Amino acid sequence: MQLKALDINGFKSFPDRVQLQFDCGITAVVGPNGSGKSNIADAVRWVLGEQSGKTLRSGKMEDVIFSGTQQRKPMGYASVSLIIDNVDRSLAFDCDEVTINRKLYRSGESEYRINGASVRLKDVHELFMDTGLGRDGYSIIGQGRIAEIVSAKSTQRREIFEEAAGISKYRYRKEQAQKRLEAAQENLLRLKDIILELEGRVEPLRQQSQKAQEYLGLAERKRALEISVWMMTIERSKELLRAQEDKLILAQGDHEDLQRRLSELEQGIQDTYDEIAKCNIETEQKRDEITALSARIGELGSQIAVSSNDIEHNKENILRLRTTIEAQSRSHAQIEEQLQMIGGEERKKQEELGTIEAQDAALREQLLTLERKNGELLREQNDLSSQRAEVQRSLSAEQLKIATSNTMLEQLRQNAEGIDERAQQNEAQIAELRDQLAQVGGLLEGIDEQLVSSQNMKKGYLIKHKSASERLQSLQQEQQALQAEQRGHLQKAKLIEDMEHNMEGFQSSVKYIMNQARSGNLGGIEGPVSKLISVESRYAAAVEVALAGAMQNIVVVSDAAAKYAIAALKNARAGRATFLPMSTIRPRSLEERGLERCEGFVALACDLVKSEEKYEGIVKNLLGRIAVAEDLDSAIAIAKSYRYRFKIVTLDGQVVNPGGSMTGGSMVQNAGLLSRAGEIARLRELAGKVGAQLEEKDHQIKAAGEEAAKLSAQLVGIDADIKTMSEDKIRYEGEQKRLDMALQSSLAQQEDARKRTLEIRQKLEALTKESTSSEDVIQKLRELERSLEEKLSGVQGRAADAAQEIAKVGAESSACGLQALTVRKDLEALQSQKEQLQSQQSERAGQAQDLKEQIAALEQRNGEIKASILQRQSQSEALGSQVEGCNGEIAKLSQRKTELEQKAAQSRQAERELHARGETLARELAKLEERKIAIQSEYDSIITKLYDEYELTLSMAQELAAPIEDMNAANRELASLRSRIKALGSINVAAIEEYKEVSERYTFMKGQVDDIERSKEELHRLIRDLTRDMKEIFIDNFQKIDHHFGKIFVELFGGGNAKLILTDPEDVLESGIEIYVQPPGKIIKSLQSLSGGEQAFVAIAIYFAILKVHPSPFCLLDEIEAALDDVNVVKYASYLRRLVGKTQFIAITHRRGTMEEADVLYGVTMQEEGVSKLLRLGVSELESKLGMKQ
């Protein structure tokens, strides 16, 4: 086995794929420091499974991936492949060439491959075990490893000697065996705990299982016997039902004939009452007509009185209008006098306005003269002001100069103060920076505490997550229970639907007819009444009682269809049935009024039933004359109010019959045919409610799932927080460095401030001298300014006097203008008043004409009213004649009503006789119906028990039932079985399976314990054998290494002696290894007293001795001769040559002696910064290219 090639891509400084080809002998890899040649050794370590970033000279594992330069982008992965010649099958692979590859992505994902197949790191380690290769082997030796073997403690030197002795594989197998032994012991303890628990359960479960098996046997016999007894009872009930139905049909026929006669009589009575009511209505109409005529006569009298009153009122209005005309004539004369007075006042105001306008013109002329004089004074004032302004500008310039100097002085002083202030601030900043440094230190401590707190919080969330998961599991179990409940309701509804479909509970004759209709042998069959109608559950009992046996009456299309059906029953001897032809049956109804106002009245029975429109006549025939009341008290009260003329049933099934008899008592639940539909609806509704609960449970499960997911997300968040805090710690450490640099910068600024303060003091002295010169110039300019001020003051006084005179004349002129404006407004007011009076004069002349016209109209209206009074008096006389005629017709109607009431009394007597007969028949029917209901109840009860107890339909039970010869004996046996089952007490049927499961598990666990005990014994034996073999192999190989170490030491050092000694010969597998050496001419007490070169030579001698005893297929030496002088390098290289026969060497070196012994040379350069290049060269060529010296 030898190394054929090393392929590197993206690893450290090798971004481009490079491949080193290796031949037998020595291959040297050379290059200047920093060129990346040691990265080749790191690549070999890495591909063989090295996991330590420190060993690979990296901060973290991702750092081995090429990180990029200014010219090159970073690589996304690093890949290294080791290609090994395996022709001699040294490696446990059946192929001539083995390629080991390791690849790492920047995401952190890593993979190992052997010949392209993905493997584990463990597989790579096992492949090279006891070959000297691998992560901890002696095939890769660097300077650090050389130093370690000398400086390490005696116990730490064992690893390399164990690998060399060839016992690494044995130790690995021993460690694996010990781990398996520990695992076996743990499993054994756990199994024994389980067995102890199972032993306490097996015996109780065995007893429970026996008891449960006995119970199942008794229960099965009880089930078979009960089914047979119940089926016998059902057959007997069917026979009784058929007999009872025949009796009931006959009684119902008689009762229906009586009801028809009674109905006809009631209809006659109703017709008589209708005619009496008609007479009453006509009488009332005539009386209403008389009332209307009388009212009309009274209305005409009122109208005549009103008209007479209107005539008198109009006469009064005429008198009032004539008085108004006379008043307006007097007002016209007064307006004329006012107009004359306003004309005189208007002329006076015109004269006053002319005087005021002349005075205003004179004042304006005087004002113009004064304004010209004032203009001359203002021009003189402006000239003096200009001279003064020029002086002031010069003065301002000098003052500005002084101000500028002062500003600069102030600025310099402020600058000085600013520098002083900044210096103080700098001092404060320095103190603050020192405080911040202390704070950052505290923050770092806080982050460490937060990291611990976050870890604790994570544990808490893990507990909550577990609780949420358990809550989710609990909700799912509740969901399963609800699903089971919903299935139960639906199955029970399905059973009742099957009973309805099979027409169980119907008379055999009805079943026969319906079967014949379904098969097409009979036509025109619509079905039993109970199947053609529907009713709300709360009304079901009332409608069932109201219909009684009529529920099984068969509705047919015509009397011909009924005739054919009766013939079919007769021919088949299938019993009797009642048929209701739709063509002949007529609806019946209650004509009694006011029922809806009776307390406790619910509705007519026909109104509580729903059916197709075509069956409406049938429904009204059966139920049209039956009322429904809330309870029996209400029913009795209603019956009394209507003299017991019709049948009334209550919501709970009690009956008040026509004539006054009552039928009632308790009712058997679900005995009626209509109740089945209600029960099906109730079960479906329950299933729907459970379905709603299931939906709610789904929401709860979803919420619990979301809660669990939320906690998972929070756990992820805490992990992220921990990562963030770790990053913060790194950031604060960086901040600590930054603050330290800022502190040094602030100290430098303090020195700069001191220098600037000195410069400012020099500038302050120069500016002070310049300011003193400007003060003298300012004094002269101020004297000139005072002279000009005095002249300007005299001119301004004269100008002020002129302005006052102008203001006085202007005020007088304004007063004249205001006075003229007032006079003009007075003239406008007089004109407006004049126009208003003239308008009133014209308006009143028109009003006088209107009043005369109104007087003429009123006189005309009085004539018309007198004519209408005469007409209404004539109408009143005619209406009096009509009233007398109506009174005569009322007398005739009263005589007709008396005759009809006598006829109604005779019909009532006949009705009472028929009601008495009807009550007798009703009692007979009620008894027959109650007997039938009792039989039907027993039948239905057994059907229900079959499903409730055994989940069987009638057809299923018929198949399971066995014939019973002695019913009494069967019942006695059933009683005995129930007693024996009761005596058994509580039964755990699940114990049978549980006992079987626990028993099998107990037996299995016992077998497992035996297997583990045997396995433990085998492992103990294996460990003993491995320990013995390891001792023998280690002692043998250690002695050989010690022998060769002594010889090689003498050759390399030119004399002296050396030995390897076990510190504990009694325990060679745990003993440390001491190195004793004595170079020629020296006496040393410890290896530390040797020089660095001598220590390296001792370590090299040990490695050479190991290679002598246990040659490695190839060996990579990374500058292990760096500490040797040139002479010893030659000795080292020449001895390396002697070992070439059994080991292939790759030497990373920069020593000439090693290069000269090399068969192949590879040079590593870094022409591009950060990127290593590989060259294959001769020795002389390499020296010229790399600039290496001897």
Q: Give the separation between CA 1040 and CA 1108, rounded to whole angstroms.
A: 9
Q: Are 1153 and 1129 in contact (CB under 8 A)?
A: yes
Q: Give the separation between CA 242 and CA 958, rounded to whole angstroms.
A: 20
844 phi/psi in degrees, rounded to 5: -75, -25
971 annotated ligand binder: no
In sequence order, what DSSP letters do the residues of 832-897 get, joined into one string?
Answer: HHHHHHHHHHHHHHHHHHHHHHHHHHHHHHHHHHHHHHHHHHHHHHHHHHHHHHHHHHHHHHHHHH
First to last CA, the chain: 35
1081 annotated ligand binder: no
Which SS3 state, helix, strand or coil, does residue 139 take? Answer: coil
3-state helix, strand, coil in the chain (%, to 5): 75, 10, 15
Q: Give the separation between CA 369 and CA 181, rounded to whole angstroms.
A: 138
Q: Give the separation between CA 199 and CA 998, rounded to whole angstroms.
A: 9
Q: Helix 537-547 vs helix 673-950: angle between axes, to the nearest 10 degrees? A: 110
Other CB atoms within a 10 A radius of the CB of residue 353 amount to 16
Taking the CA atoms of residue 1033, residue 1039, residue 1042 and residue 1043 in that order, the dihedral angle to the nearest 10 degrees is: -130
Q: Give the separation between CA 1162 and CA 357, rounded to whole angstroms.
A: 130
Q: Please name the helix (run of DSSP H) or strand (run of DSSP E) that holds residue 99, with its range, or none.
A: strand 97-105
Q: Give the separation between CA 449 and CA 1046, rounded to whole angstroms.
A: 57
What is the total residue count of the chain?
Answer: 1190
Pairing of strands 601-604, 662-663: unpaired
Sole residue written with tokens 């109608």: 533
37 annotated ligand binder: yes
Task: List the one residue out of 637, 593, 580 whose CA is nearest residue 277.
Answer: 593
Q: Is 432 left (phi over 0), alpha (psi -120 to 50) or beta?
A: alpha
Taking the CA atoms of residue 1091, residue 1096, residue 1099 and residue 1104 in that order, the dihedral angle to the nearest 10 degrees is: -130
* Residues 6 or more apart in contact with residue 940 via CB below 8 angstroms: 505, 668, 670, 671
771 annotated ligand binder: no
Burial of 595 (0-12, 13-18, 19+ CB in 10 A): middle
Q: Are 41 and 1162 in contact (CB under 8 A)?
A: no
331 annotated ligand binder: no
454 phi/psi in degrees, rounded to 5: -65, -35
813 annotated ligand binder: no
Q: Give the separation between CA 112 and CA 104, rounded to whole angstroms.
A: 9
Q: Give the separation between CA 1132 and CA 584, rounded to whole angstroms.
A: 134
Q: Give the separation between CA 362 and CA 357, rounded to whole angstroms.
A: 9
Q: Are 656 and 635 in contact (CB under 8 A)?
A: yes
Residue type, 651: L
Q: Are 855 and 324 in contact (CB under 8 A)?
A: no
Q: Give the separation between CA 1018 and CA 1010, rounded to whole angstroms.
A: 12
- CA 359, distance to chain mean position in Å, is 97
734 annotated ligand binder: no
36 annotated ligand binder: yes
Q: Are 212 and 991 in contact (CB under 8 A)?
A: yes
Beta partners for residue 78, in sequence order: 104
Q: Give the separation between CA 747 and CA 508, rounded to whole angstroms.
A: 119
Q: What is the token pair recorded at 1083? A: 């006496």
Q: Are 325 and 848 in contact (CB under 8 A)?
A: yes
Annotated binding site: 32-39
Annotated binding site for ATP: 32-39
